[in-house]
Amino acid sequence: MEFFIKHQKVLLRSIGAVLIVVSFAAFFWTAPKKGFTENEIAAANVARMEAKMAGQSSSSSSKEPKESPFLQTYKQTQEKQMRYMLIIMMVFGIGFLGYSFLSSKKGA
């Protein structure tokens, strides 16, 4: 217990910094893509040409199975929970950092 009291500021600052860094990294990692890259477009074109050469129609191969309403709701709920978790991590990280700078030794 003495170790934690002795190194309280360092521990609080390191925990706060780790929480902030991890939450920002996770936030930008889970951010949705805005469009397709050139490699993805080229891969789709190659797949379409291969399908045409094999005698399949491109419209039948591009159909994707539709998601059920339950699955869509589940994914939306999961995204909201991830956002809330990241916000809470950021707040706790800022709180730990702020408290490490504001706390003072008592009894000295």
Q: What is the pLDDT of residues 64-87, one digit of tens each?
A: 667 788 988 998 999 899 999 999
Report yes or no: 19 and 95 within 8 Å, Cβ to Cβ.
no
pLDDT winner (highest mean) among 32-36, 55-59, 62-66: 32-36
Domain boundaries, the chain: 2-102
Whether residue 42 has pLDDT greater than 90: no
pLDDT of residue 45: 87
Residues 6+ apart with CB under 8 A from 13: 96, 97, 100
Report yes or no: 29 and 35 within 8 Å, Cβ to Cβ.
no
